[in-house]
Structure formats: structure tokens, C-alpha cells
């Protein structure tokens, strides 16, 4: 009762990274609250294949539902599993990835349980809340912190009276780490038919096609990102060259993606990928809040911009005032000359 739950997403027998990131966050929240971290996974043929990808992140108890029709994911069976499991377990918090699956499942579950859900949180904390209207005081609520209004403001949301407090978080926002402490690591395999009604399997997946990611932008230590100031798709070619010599990856602002300069899977920002590289080179990026939200935790930020007053320069460690056409080839040239 009252534990922290994380819904684990899988593709076949591969556990999604975002789920592991949430386990690490969930572990911290559980420690802070003095409760256990539980995980729930549902799939087909997962028994014996997913446990090792889940338990090391500090899981006290894993509920693994293995049965036909649970992969590929469809809404109703997974909803039934969570709703019925949560009725038994009464968790206080449930976290899931802000992925296509999490954003399909989370609202359905929250509506079934009449509990609050906050999408795309960027921070999760524990804290107190005083309701000014009812004068009631609440201890240890989950602060669900998220940008709103296109990233121009950040709101802290709480669910005072309804459980579980549900939140989704995008991939890359939290960081995963193998748990150093001692967790119970118990695994149970509940009987699926006790949780899912036969009518739940009504949606049929005729064709399911997933390609391996073409790049590792999220995990790359060096990111070269381009904005609208790159001017064209061809303009991005030099960023790919710079990224190649630096062994980094190319990212883009939303303005550049919207203009068709770059594929949208490389978009960095609140509505794209969140990155935490060692070095972030922003080329022709003005620095809208929604972009900065996805890269502000980079260790070193270098901004290349012809406008000395570009907003991104305020958070940069180095500002090179100049056009990208002039500066980027020089970065390539002098890196080649000076590196061994």
C-alpha cells in the first residue's frame, strides 16, 4: 500500500530507457517517502527476459504480466492491468514515460480511477501543500512540475485528494543509474486473466513496424545544434561535418525543424529531446525558452551567432559573434589541426 509505482514500457523483450530513468527517479521518491518502489510490466514472452533490465534500478517488487495479446501494446488490456492492480495495491504515485504508449495509457487509467495526471513533467519533488480555499494542509505530496503555455511558464501541479498521483515524463529528462543500495528485488507473475477481461483484446494490431533509432542524440557527449539561422537544409551539412569530426551528434531547434532544415527526431527542446551533453554548440539558434528547456543542463555551452544579443548567449559559456558560414568551417579546420 502507498508505494511508488513505475509502469515499464517494452518493445518485445527490450525495456524502454525512459522506464529505467523513471525507476531511478521513483527510487529517490520512495526513499524520501519511506516506502517501496514497485514496477509493473506487461508483454508477451517477457518472463525471464526483462527482469534483469528492471530490478537493478532499485525495484522492491516487480509485477510481471506475461500473456498473449499484451504485445504489441493496445490500450484496453494494459489499462485493465493497471486499474485492477492499483485497486489492490493503492499506490500513492504512478510514473510512466511521456511516450506514445504512456500518453495513451496514462489518461485512460487516470480517468478510470478518477485520479489526477500531469503530462510531460520536467521535475518531480516531494513537498507540502496548503489549500487556500479549504484551509487543508497536506504533507508529502508529489510536486509535478512542467512547462506550460508553449514553455513560457512553469507550473507546479499537485493532486491533493486523489490517488495515485500520476505523472508522465519524457525520455531523457531524468537520468538512469543502477541503484547502489539494497532493494528487495521480489518478482511476481500474476495471472493475466484475473486482471484483463476477454473483451479488452478487441483492437487488433495488423502491422507493427519500429526502426532502430538512427542516431544517439540523447546520449551523445557532444551536440552540435542548428537553428533557423542555418538558413537551409544544405546549411545543416556543415553541422553534420562538425559533429562527425568531434564524434558528436546533430540536433536542431524547433524553428529549424519546422522550416524543414532537419528531421524532427533531432529536435531539442521541451517538445523534443532533452540532452545533457558535455559540450553543446548552438549554431544560429536564438534561444527560445522552449529550446533552452531541453539543453540548459549541458556542461559547456558555446553559442555561434551573428547577433551578440541573442537570448541563448546569456546562458552560454562562450559566445562567438559571427556568421555560422564563417565560424563553423573554422571550428572544423582548427579542430583537425590541433587534435591528435
Partner 1 sequence: MTKPLKIVVLAKQVPDTRNVGKDAMTPEGTVNRAALPAIFNPEDLNALEQALRLKEQHPGSTVGVLTMGPPRAGEIIRQGLFRGADTGWLLTDRLFAGADTLATSYALATAIKKIGEVDIVIGGRQAIDGDTAQVGPQVAQKLGLNQVTYAEEILKIENNIATIRRHIDGGVETVEVPLPCVITVNGSAAPCRPCNAKLVMKYKYAMCPLEVDVNSECGMRNAELSKTRPYLTLNQWSVADVDGDPNQCGLSGSPTKVKTVQNIVFQAKESKTLTATDADVEGLIKELLDEKIIG
Of residues 141 through 200, those in contact with partner 1 by CB under 8 A are 143-144, 147-162
Nearest approach, Cβ of residue 24 and partner 1 (Å): 20
Contact pick of 33, 177, 222, 259 for partner 1 (by CB under 8 A): 222
Nearer to partner 1 (CB atom), residue 180 or residue 339: 339
Given a contact cutoff of 8 angstroms between Cβ atoms, the answer to whether 219 and 204 are in contact is: no
Given a contact cutoff of 8 angstroms between Cβ atoms, the answer to whether 264 and 257 are in contact is: yes
* Residue 315 touches partner 1, criterion: CB under 8 A: yes
* Residue 100 touches partner 1, criterion: CB under 8 A: yes
* Residue 301 touches partner 1, criterion: CB under 8 A: yes
Residues 6 or more apart whose CB falls under 8 angstroms from that of 58 comprise 23, 24, 26, 27, 30, 37, 179, 181, 183
Nearest approach, Cβ of residue 172 and partner 1 (Å): 13
Q: Say which residue the cell 531524468 belongs to.
A: 174
Nearer to partner 1 (CB atom), residue 182 or residue 340: 340
Given a contact cutoff of 8 angstroms between Cβ atoms, the answer to whether 284 and 304 are in contact is: yes
Contact pick of 20, 24, 253, 271 for partner 1 (by CB under 8 A): 271
* Residue 331 touches partner 1, criterion: CB under 8 A: yes
Given the rule CB under 8 A, which of 26-34, 43-51, 52-60, 206-214 is the region that contacts partner 1?
206-214
Residues 6 or more apart whose CB falls under 8 angstroms from that of 275 comprise 172, 217, 218, 220, 223, 251, 268, 294, 295, 298
Backbone conformation region of residue 190, classed left if phi is above 0, alpha if psi is from -120 to 50, else beta: beta
* Residue 201 touches partner 1, criterion: CB under 8 A: no
Given a contact cutoff of 8 angstroms between Cβ atoms, the answer to whether 41 and 10 are in contact is: yes
- Distance between CA 30 and CA 25 in Å, rounded? 9
DSSP per-residue string spanning 295-319: TTT-SEEEEEES-TT-GGGGG-SEE
- Distance between CA 34 and CA 15 in Å, rounded? 27
Which residues are registered as beta bridge partners of 251? 225
* Residue 33 touches partner 1, criterion: CB under 8 A: no
* Residue 257 touches partner 1, criterion: CB under 8 A: no
Nearer to partner 1 (CB atom), residue 27 or residue 276: 276
Given the rule CB under 8 A, which of 46-54, 61-69, 105-113, 231-239 is the region that contacts partner 1?
105-113
Nearest approach, Cβ of residue 188 and partner 1 (Å): 27
Contact pick of 136, 137, 213, 233 for partner 1 (by CB under 8 A): 213
Nearest approach, Cβ of residue 300 and partner 1 (Å): 6
Amino acid at each position: 500500500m502507498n508505494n511508488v509505482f513505475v509502469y515499464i514500457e517494452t518493445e518485445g523483450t527490450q525495456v524502454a530507457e525512459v522506464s529505467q530513468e523513471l525507476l531511478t527517479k521513483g527510487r529517490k521518491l520512495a526513499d524520501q517517502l519511506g516506502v517501496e518502489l514497485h514496477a509493473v510490466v506487461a508483454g508477451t514472452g517477457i518472463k525471464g527476459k526483462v527482469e534483469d533490465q528492471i530490478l537493478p534500478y532499485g525495484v522492491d517488487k516487480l509485477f510481471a504480466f506475461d500473456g498473449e495479446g499484451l504485445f504489441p501494446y493496445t490500450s484496453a488490456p494494459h489499462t485493465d492491468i493497471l486499474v485492477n492492480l492499483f485497486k489492490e495495491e493503492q499506490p500513492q504515485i504512478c510514473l510512466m514515460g511521456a511516450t506514445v504508449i504512456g500518453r495513451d495509457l496514462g489518461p485512460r487509467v487516470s480517468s478510470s480511477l478518477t485520479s489526477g495526471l500531469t503530462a510531460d513533467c520536467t521535475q518531480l519533488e516531494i513537498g507540502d501543500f496548503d489549500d487556500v480555499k479549504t484551509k487543508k494542509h497536506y504533507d508529502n505530496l508529489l510536486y509535478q512540475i512542467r512547462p506550460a503555455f508553449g514553455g513560457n511558464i512553469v507550473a507546479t501541479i499537485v493532486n491533493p485528494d486523489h490517488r495515485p498521483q500520476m505523472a508522465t515524463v519524457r525520455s531523457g529528462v531524468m537520468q538512469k543509474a543502477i541503484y547502489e543500495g539494497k532493494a528487495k528485488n521480489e518478482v511476481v507473475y500474476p495471472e493475466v486473466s484475473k486482471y484483463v477481461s476477454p473483451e479488452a483484446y478487441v483492437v487488433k494490431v495488423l502491422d507493427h513496424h519500429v526502426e532502430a533509432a538512427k542516431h544517439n542524440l540523447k546520449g551523445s557527449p557532444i551536440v552540435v545544434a542548428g537553428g533557423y539561422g542555418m538558413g537551409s537544409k544544405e546549411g545543416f551539412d556543415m553541422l553534420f561535418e562538425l559533429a562527425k569530426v568531434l564524434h558528436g551528434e546533430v540536433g536542431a531547434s524547433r524553428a529549424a525543424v519546422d522550416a524543414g532544415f532537419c528531421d524532427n527526431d533531432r529536435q531539442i527542446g521541451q517538445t523534443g529531446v532533452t540532452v545533457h551533453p558535455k559540450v553543446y554548440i548552438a549554431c544560429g539558434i536564438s534561444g527560445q525558452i522552449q529550446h533552452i528547456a531541453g539543453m540548459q543542463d549541458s556542461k559547456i555551452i558555446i553559442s555561434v551567432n551573428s547577433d551578440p544579443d541573442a537570448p541563448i548567449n546569456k546562458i552560454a559559456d562562450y559566445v562567438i559573434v559571427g556568421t555560422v558560414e564563417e565560424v563553423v568551417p573554422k571550428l572544423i579546420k582548427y579542430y583537425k589541426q590541433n587534435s591528435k
